[in-house]
Amino acid sequence: MITKRSNFAPLFLKETPLILSLLFCFIFVSCQKEKGFKGVNQGDQATSQSKLKGKRLKRSIDSRLGLGEFFVEKKIRKNSNFAETLEEMNFSYQDILQIIKAVKPFINFSKLQINTVLQKKERSYPLKEFLSLEVFLSWIERVVVEKGEKGEWKARKKNLPITTKVTKFNGVVEASLWNSAVKAGLDPAVIEKLSQIFAWEIDFNREVLPVDSWRIIVEEKWAGGKRVSWGHILAAEYKNGNTYHKAVRFPKGKGGEYYDLEGKSLKKKFLKSPLRFGRITSRFTRRRFHPILKIRRPHYGVDYAAPKGTPIFAVGDGRVTRKHYSKWGGKTIKIRHNSVYQTAYKHLSKFHPSVRRGRKVKQGQVIGYVGSTGLSTGPHLHFEFYQGGRYVDPLGKKFPQLKKIKKENLISYKSFAKEVWKFLPERQEAVLLAKKTNEKKKKEDL
Ligand SMILES: [Zn+2]
């Protein structure tokens, strides 16, 4: 399996309406540059000068270093401390005292962790000279210590600028979606984001196939030559069986939303109510007095009173997971809408004949009729909503909103999406299939 990985430069500054023009600013930057930036461990100072000669060439590739300049890096070891580490870096006792005094306002020594990096920058040419000492408090936070003109030690806080790169990844599911992400060098958190984007189209718990493939471009946040976090997925394709699901993030307005290439939202809205006309007689509560049982017990749903036989609609597209009779709920239908949401409909007088377990239903499709089966005082629908397997109040909960692209933005979105799409890596499945056919051919040739 081949994993494509290349970086291209900062783009998508912030939610600019004219991102299109920015798109053409993609500059490809090699990852190799970052690899050249490495500290030298100063364990063997005696031989370091000769060793450094060889390494100096490499170091000069790093534009951050001037002629004859180099870094010496040390980590604070277990059972060691800041002062001892400085000592190991060949600072004099006097200097160490001065440095500690200077950095005190910026560093809480009791909270300084093992493996905190100290980096000394020195010059060896034309004269050996101390330039600075940096203490890496986090990936982006550093304390810089320098020497003033009079030889006094001065410290200041430095926050590294975060730059955004855009990277491409692709994979074939094979064993699992999670594995394919790891194999591609992708943080599983990003794959989680991918599954959220398509949560309304694919049930990632049940519908994922080994032949499924995916490809994405995603933002990476870099600081100090290292990736510090992941940003947004800018474009994604998930091939589920023979269906291609496509998404592009349109960074307009707050947060940005995902749309398909035609500009249709990837989120779907639930119907406000499973009945056309229904009067809410009992709301969702964690404690209520039960009219039949005469005890206080929670009511994990909403009751709609309606005449017997009133049609009940599926509130969203999904798959019927249960169709059964229970003593309490009577005739019950449960629908799984995606990997997050499920709904249940109880006390039905009758199921609609089209409803079968395992079958798909469409939003607004009649699935049954209001009744009073099970433990019920009169004809009503008991409607339940689940999010991640837990009951939620369908009336109190803010469900995903269908965000349409405004008409005046649709044309610009489409050309934007088209441009972004070009940056996706090759579909890996194609590579895999080609490889397989090649292998087949080879065998045939033999
Ligand atoms: Zn109820």
Task: For the beta carbon of residue 443, count every other beta carbon within 10 angstroms.
Answer: 8
CA of residue 99 to ligand 1 center, whole Å: 69
Domain 1-30+162-269+404-446 in CATH 3.10.450.350? The answer is yes
Going from the Cα of 318 to the center of ligand 1, the distance in angstroms, rounded, reads 22
The rounded Å distance from CA 284 to ligand 1 centre is 8
Classified as helix, coil or strand, 104 is: coil
Task: Report pLDDT digits (tens) over 90-143.
Answer: 999 999 999 999 999 999 988 889 999 999 999 887 888 899 999 999 888 999
Output the CA angle 33-34-38, nearest 5 degrees: 115
CATH placement of domain 279-392: 2.70.70.10
User: What is the mean pLDDT of the segment spanning 13-36?
Assistant: 33
Residues 143, 149, 154, CA angle at the centre, nearest 5°?
Answer: 20
CA distances, 171 to each of 87, 95, 209, 366 (Å): 48, 53, 13, 39
Helix (H, G, I), strand (E, B) or coil at 56: helix
Q: What is the pLDDT of residues 322-378, one digit of tens each?
A: 999 999 999 999 999 988 889 999 999 999 999 999 999 988 899 999 999 999 989
pLDDT tens for residues 138-181? 888 999 999 988 889 999 999 989 999 999 999 999 888 888 98
List, for residues 43-90, the tens digit of each pLDDT value.
Answer: 333 333 334 443 443 444 445 667 788 888 999 999 999 999 999 999
Q: Which residues contact 353 (CB under 8 A, 6 or more apart)?
A: none
Residue 404 DSSP SS3: coil
CATH of the domain spanning 33-159 = 3.10.450.350
Residue 150 CA to chain centroid, in angstroms? 50
Task: Specify the pLDDT at position 33.
Answer: 30
pLDDT at 232: 93
| DSSP symbols for 143-192 | EEEEE-TTS-EEEEEEEPPPEEEEEEEEEE-TT-HHHHHHHTT--HHHHH
Locate the domains of the chain by residue range.
1-30+162-269+404-446, 33-159, 279-392
* CA 132 to ligand 1 center in whole angstroms: 70
Gap from CA of 383 to ligand 1 centroid (Å): 7
Instruction: For residue 113, report the distance from its CA to the centre of ligand 1, in Å.
Output: 55
Task: Name the pTM for this structure.
Answer: 0.57
Closest CA to 389 of 314, 324, 334, 326: 334
Residue 6 CA to ligand 1 center (angstroms) comes to 55
Topology match between the domains 1-30+162-269+404-446 and 33-159: yes
* Identity of the highest mean pLDDT range in 26-30, 92-96, 409-413: 92-96
CA 366 to each of CA 121, 346, 382: distance values in angstroms, whole numbers, following the listed order: 72, 14, 16
